[in-house]
Amino acid sequence: MFHMLKNSLLKQPSEEDPDEGIKDLVEITLKKMDHDHDGKLSFSDYEQAVREETLLLEAFGPCLPDPKSQMEFEAHVFKDPNEFIDM
Residue range 34-45, pLDDT digits in tens: 999 999 999 999
Q: How much is the pLDDT for 25?
A: 82
Higher pLDDT, 82 or 63: 63
Contacts of 45 (CB under 8 A, 6+ apart): 33, 34, 35, 36
The predicted model scores a pTM of 0.55
Average pLDDT of the chain, as a whole number: 81
Domains of the chain, residue spans: 2-83
**What is the average per-residue pLDDT within 62-84?**
84
> Are 33 and 59 spatial neighbours (Cβ–Cβ below 8 Å)?
yes
pLDDT at 10 > cutoff 70: no
**What is the average per-residue pLDDT within 69-78?**
91
